[in-house]
Amino acid sequence: MAVYRVRRTILSAPERDRTMPDIRIARIALADCLPIRQAVLWPDLPRQACIVPGDADALHYGAFLAGRLAGCGSFFPLASQTVRLRKCAIMPDVQRRGLGSRLLRVAFAELRQAGYATVTLDARLTAVDFYRRFGLEPHGAPFVRSGLEYVTVGGALPGGIDRPR
């Protein structure tokens, strides 16, 4: 597995976890998100096709495990106090180990400090319980996109601490 060079990093306090002590979350450039998006979300598309509208203005966060960029999430400003989470992806070999939770906790805390108050996202139905741990709730009817079932999830931007499982 390749290790990707981070071009621009605005670090939060180093994040540590008892089960994965080498986790670090940091702001990254869009170019650093693309290999993760391609590998996890769109493996059959060329890397440039993984760019979505608004990416140039989004805030991109990376999850590093033992120095390797292993996940990313992009937050798109919608209004003065609302962001939309899109294209959150964790490499398959490290999924279900807390990287996604850690990434969201750090990003949510920094976004709150930057003045954002609410977050919205389209979650796969299988991931709704994950987002509920952050106090986010589904609203509206489920819908199908690219053969997968989604529902819009959102609410007040959590203060950076998720609920215990």
Distance CA 20, CA 59 (A): 25
Q: What is the mean pLDDT of residues 23-29?
A: 95
CA–CA separation, 11 and 14 (whole Å) = 7
- Please state, in angstroms and rounded to a whole number, the distance separating the CA atoms of residues 24 and 9: 11
Domain ranges of the chain: 23-118
- CA distances, 130 to each of 32, 48, 165 (Å): 25, 29, 9
Mean pLDDT of 63-90: 93
Q: Which amino acid is at 3?
A: V
H or E segment to which residue 32 belongs: helix 30-40
Average pLDDT, the chain: 84
Q: Per-residue pLDDT for 6 more than 60?
A: no
Tens-digit pLDDT profile for residues 31-46: 999 999 999 989 999 9
Tell me the fold of 23-118: Aminopeptidase (3.40.630)
Q: Is pLDDT of 14 > 80?
A: no
pLDDT value of residue 20: 53
pTM of the model: 0.81
**Structure tokens belonging to residue 95:** 């999924």
